[in-house]
Structure formats: C-alpha cells, structure tokens
Amino acid sequence: MNITGLSPERLEFEHRPMNWIVGLGIVCAALLLFLLKALIDGALPGVAIASLMLLAIAWVWLTQIFLTVRLSADRGTGILRITTISLFGETFRERPLDDLTGAEVDTRYRESDSSAEPTLVLRFGSERHPIQLFKPDPADLLQAAEAIKGWLNQHQPGTEPAGEALE
C-alpha cells in the first residue's frame, strides 16, 4: 500500500501486491507456453492438463491478486471511496467522510495455520470496517493508519466553525 496522494484536501492510497503479481505471472506464462507446445504437438492429455492448471491459476491471479485497491478520502466531495480495479472492471464502495473517525492496524491469526494476517481497520465511530487486501506489507498498513489519523486531526480545527454556524 503506497501513499499516492497526500494534501490537506485529499488523501489517497493504492495497494498492489507486486511480488505475487510477478511470481504467479511467471507461472502463468510458463503454463501458457506448455499449452502452446502441447497444441502444436497435438498432445491432447497435455493440452487438457495445461489448460486446467492455467485456468485455475489465472482465475486466482486475475480475481484475487492482479487487483489494485485504492482508498481515497476527499474533503471537497466529503466522500471516502474504496475502489477495487481489476481487468474485469471497477467496483467501489463509498461512505461519508465525516463518519470516519480513525484507523488502526489489527492482526488476526488464521485458525488453520496460525499465520498472522495484519489488516487495516477503518473506524466509523464504534463500527470497525476492515479493508481486505491481499498479503499487505504490515509497515504499509502502519504508515497508512498513521497518515489517516494525522490527516483527520488536521481536519479538526476546520470543523469547529461549521458546528458553530449551525448553532
């Protein structure tokens, strides 16, 4: 997760798991070559096995790993948007920025193998909203949580006159 935009008006992060994209990309490319070779040789069992493996790995790669998750908070529009961009399109969720009260890093341990899964959690009052990211770097999450808290604290003085005006 990289900070791609940080100004008083706008905060933006992007997450792209490059190590996994490169690693599985190489596996997919190798399988594609084996498939082409099996097709040229006319080896039907080879075509079937390579196709099945390529489909399975490419499906996981395209739907779980080759994704960009972008978190953007904009004071101009007052919207917090979490966008997931894949080859199949773009999906997003939105919340009013005023609801966002903080961010923290929470580490859960998987019950299958006890491995740690650090997650960035956005706090909307008492509600906690974990951001699902594929294999994030814990240092990125800590930095993102600090940046969100710092950015929201900058906002505090600006909100006071608005509240007084309503009264």
Partner 1 sequence: MNVVKNTPEELEILIEIPRFIVLFMTAPIALAGGLFTLALLLGGEFVNALTTGAVIAGLVFGGRYFLTQRTRLWLDAREGTVRILRTTMFEEKRQQLPLEHLDSASVAVSRRHERSGSGSSGSTSRPTSTLHLLFTNTRPATEVPLTGWAVSGGGAGMLANAINDWLRAHHERAEGGD
- In the shown chain, the binding pattern of residues 29 to 68 toward partner 1, with x for contact by CB under 8 A and - for none, equals xx--xx-xx--xx---------------------------
CB of 37 to partner 1, least distance (A): 5
- For 8, residues 6+ apart whose C-beta sits below 8 A from its C-beta are 75, 154
Question: 18 φ, ψ to 5°?
Answer: -60, -40
CB of 49 to partner 1, least distance (A): 15
Q: Which residues pair with 37 in a beta bridge?
A: none
2 binds partner 1 (CB under 8 A): yes
List the one residue from 105, 122, 131, 133 that touches partner 1 (CB under 8 A). Answer: 105
Q: Which two tokens stand for residue 11?
A: 């905060």
154 binds partner 1 (CB under 8 A): no
The DSSP code for 70 is: E
- Rounded distance, CA 141 to CA 116, Å? 14
List the one residue from 56, 98, 139, 159 that touches partner 1 (CB under 8 A). Answer: 139
